[in-house]
Structure 1
C-alpha cells in the first residue's frame, strides 16, 4: 500500500503545521520520519491515520483518502506517545477491541509481546506506569499487522533495555510480516540502524528524503589542522564546524567524497551518523539551506 502525500497543508489559525508537503512512502519499508519539534511530523501522522483533515492537498493510499474511510483505516495503525486506549479497561480487553478493528491481527504476537514486556493481561490500564502504557501501545502496533504501522515516540517511559528489546521485536515482526513502518523519534542514535529510508521535515516542508545508506555516503566529518581543514572544505557545503586551539572539525554534505584525498592531507576522516545530519541539516543559521 503506497502512500502519496500531495501538496499537503494543515493550518492552525495563522500557523501552518504543514506547508505544501509532497512525499511518497513505498510499501514494505521502514522509514525514519525525523525533524525538530514543530516540524510537522505528528500532524502528518495524524492526517495519514485519518484522525484529522488537511486544510489543502491530500494523502492517498493506493488512490484512496483515509479520512472516514473504514476500508483504508483498518490497514493503518498509529501508536502515539500516549492516549492509545481508554484507561477504564483491562489490558486483555484493550487488545480484544484492537483485534476487532484490525483484520490482520495476530493474537499469538500479542501474547508473546505481553510476556516479553512482563505485562499481566488482567491488569487494569488505569494503574499502569508510563512505561507499561508504552508497552501496551507497542503491543497493539506490532500485533495489528496493519499494512501501515506508525510509531510516534512510542516508548516514552521505557528504560534503555526495554527500548532495545522493542527494536529487536520490531525487526522480528517486520521480517515475519513485512509492512510499511513509519517511526518518528528523537532517540535517533538508538534506532537509525533500522531505517531503510529517512524523511526529514522542516517547518512543515520536506527538507530531504533519501535511502539511509545514500544519505550517509553524502556526508563526511574531517578533523585536524585548521588550515588544512579549510583547504579541504573550500567550495564545499559545510553544515557544521567547530574550532579549538588551532584544530578544527567540519562536516560536509552533498556529494560522494574521496577518502584517500582527505587522508593524504593528514586529516582524520569518518562518516556522520543520521542524528548528526538531522541536527545540522535543520539548523537555520543565516537562513542557509544545506541540502
Structure 2
C-alpha cells in the first residue's frame, strides 16, 4: 500500500458569505507525509473536510486516488479524518469504538491500537466524555494511526496533549508509516516539532495557497548567517532579513532568498551559513503587517 494521491484544482468553499477557500490548487503525493500549515482561519480544516467528503466544495475539482470523494464508497472507506479531540461517540466506551472501527476499517490494526492505548495510558473501559482534553486528543491519535487508511488526515490532533505525549505521537506516526507507507496529511501550527516528519508542505493563508513544495526545497529558499556582528550586518545589507539573534559579539541573521555567491562571500568574511528552520520561513510567509496607529489616537 502506497496511499492515495490527491489533486485539488481551483477549489472554492464558502460558508454563506464567507469564503474559506478561494480557488486553491495543490497536489498531495501518494505515500508521503505532507504538512498542511497555516494560521487559525487559513482554511486548513475546510480543506481537509472537503478531501474527506465531510462537506462539499462550492466549486472546483477534488480527486482522491483519481476520483471525486463525494459519496464515493471506495474512496471514503480508504480515508480517515481525525479532528481535534477526535471524532468519536462521547458516550461510548473506548473499547467499543475500537471494536466498531475494527469491523469496518479493513486495514485497522487492533495490535497497534492496543499498543498506543497503553502508551497514552488510556483505559479502554472509559468513555470520551470522562477524559481530559489531552486524553481525548490522544485517543484521536490512536484512531487515526491504527486505521492505517490509504489517506489519513490529522487536523491539529495534538492539541491539548502535553509535550511527552506529543513526541510519543510523532514517534509512533513515523515508525508505523515507515512499516506501513500511506498518505498522511498532518495539519499543525507546532511547526518546529513536526517539521522532521514532513516531506512535502502546503502553506495556506486566508483561504489561498502561499506555497506548495517539498520541505527541503522550501528550506533551501533561506539561509542563516552566523559570525561577528559587524560582519553579519555587512553581509545582510540589501537582503530580506526575517530574524536576528545576538549573543555578545556573535550574531545570527535569517535571510529569505539564498544567492549563488553566498557561500564564497561568507568564507571571505569568516561567516558560517546554515539551513533555515521551517518555522521561521512559515512566520515570514504568513506575516501580516501591523496596521499603523492613526496620529490622532497616539
**Same fold at TM > 0.5:** yes
Tell me the equivalent position of 1:259.
263
Quote how far apart the aligned CAs of 1:234 are.
Answer: 4.8
Greater shift in the superposed pair: 244-253 or 211-220:
244-253
1:67, 1:278 → 2: CA distance?
32
- 2:142 aligned with 1:148: no
- Residue of structure 2 in register with 1:275 after alignment: 279
Q: Which runs of 5+ in 1 are unaligned?
A: none
Look up the match of 1:173: 176
2:136 to 133, 147, 154: 133
Q: Which residue of 2 aligns with 1:285?
A: 289
Say if 1:218 and 1:256, in contact at 8 Å, map to a contact too.
no
Q: Distance in 2 between matches of 1:145 and 1:41?
A: 22
**Alpha-carbon offset, residue 12 of structure 1:** 2.0
Report Cα offsets for 1:167-193 as digits up to 9, x if no partner: 111111101110011111111111110
1:42 aligns with 2:45: yes
Is structure 2 residue 39 aligned with structure 1 residue 31?
no
2:67 to 39, 64, 68: 64
Deviation at 1:249, TM superposition (A): 5.3
Structure-2 change in CA distance of 1:174 and 1:235 (3 Å): same
2:14 to 5, 11, 20: 11
**Aligned-partner Cα distance in 2 for 1:239–1:3:** 35
Deviation at 1:231, TM superposition (A): 4.6
What is the root-mean-square deviation of aligned Cα atoms in Å? Answer: 2.4
Q: List runs of 5+ in structure 2 lacking aligned partners.
A: 292-298
Q: 1:286 and 1:129, CA in 2 relative to 1: closer, same or farther beyond 3 A?
A: closer
Which has the larger displacement, 240-249 or 256-265? Answer: 240-249
TM-score (norm 1): 0.89
Is 2:85–2:138's contact at 8 Å kept on the other side of the alignment? Answer: no
2:86, 2:137 within 8 Å by CA — same for their partners in 1?
Answer: no
Indicate which of 239, 242, 245 corresponds to 1:240. 242
Match of 1:200 among 200, 203, 207: 203
Structure-2 separation of matches of 1:16 and 1:103: 36
Partner residue in 1 for 2:223:
220
In 2, the alpha carbon distance for the partners of 1:118 and 1:243 equals 40
Asked whether the equivalents of residues 244 and 254 of structure 2 are also in contact (C-alpha less than 8 Å), the reply is no
2:294 maps to none
Distance 2:231 2:115 in 1: 56
Instruction: Please tell me whether the aligned partners of residues 263 and 269 of structure 1 are also in contact (alpha carbons under 8 angstroms).
Output: no
- Worse-superposed segment, 266-275 or 209-218: 266-275
TM-score, normalised to structure 2's length? 0.87
SS state at 2:20 partner: strand
Count of aligned residue pairs for this structure pair? 286
CA distance in 1, matches of 2:212, 2:257: 13
Output the CA distance in 1 between the equivalents of 2:81 and 2:187: 11
